[in-house]
Amino acid sequence: MPNQVIRMLQMEYPGYEDEILKSYSIWLCLACETCYSRCPQEIRISEIMDFLRQESIRQNKVNPKAKNILSFHESFLDEVKRNGKLNEVGLTIEYKMKTLNLMQDVENAPSMLLKGKLGILPNKVQNTGEIKKLFKKTRK
């Protein structure tokens, strides 16, 4: 639970960093801000979880159960870096290649295409170079 992660951060008991960074729970946060809206202290828990995920990646401590979540995370960011915004088809292709879950949800594709929910060709922002610069800055 998010409150348990926050409490562990507050307590600073020995070994807490590894336990938190290796936990699966930090990967389950959807950044929906529900916990923030309910928190009496107005703690931005989703921002803390995002930081913990990035630290977990940086220190190579990602929980093995979070492998597919991490693959989706990376695929999403790669797609934004390439086009300046999300292209669902590009995201899906990259995610499927990383996870090798090639047939998962494939039956949904035809109806989504017919309903216009999936754009075949990506729509790019005008200056993708600026987006790439932002990504470069955040890597440092």
In a domain, 135, yes or no: no
In a domain, 134, yes or no: no
Q: Of 59, 51, 46, nearest to 18 (Cα)?
A: 59
Q: Both 97 and 83 in a single domain?
A: yes
Per residue in 81-101, pLDDT tens? Answer: 888 888 888 888 899 999 998
Please give the model's pTM, rounded to 2 decimal places.
0.73
Q: Domain tally for the chain?
A: 2
pLDDT interval class at 70 (50, 70, 90): very high
Per residue in 106-133, pLDDT tens? Answer: 888 888 888 887 777 777 778 888 888 8
Which structural domain range is residue 90 located in? 65-129
Q: Are 57 and 70 in contact (CB under 8 A)?
A: yes
Q: Of 67, 71, 69, 88, nearest to 79 (Cα)?
A: 88
Q: Both 17 and 45 in a single domain?
A: yes
Q: Of 60, 69, 120, nearest to 98 (Cα)?
A: 69
Alpha carbon distance 99, 7 (integer Å): 33
In the prediction, which pLDDT does 43 show? 86
Q: Of 33, 10, 35, nearest to 20 (Cα)?
A: 10
- DSSP assignment, residue 73? H
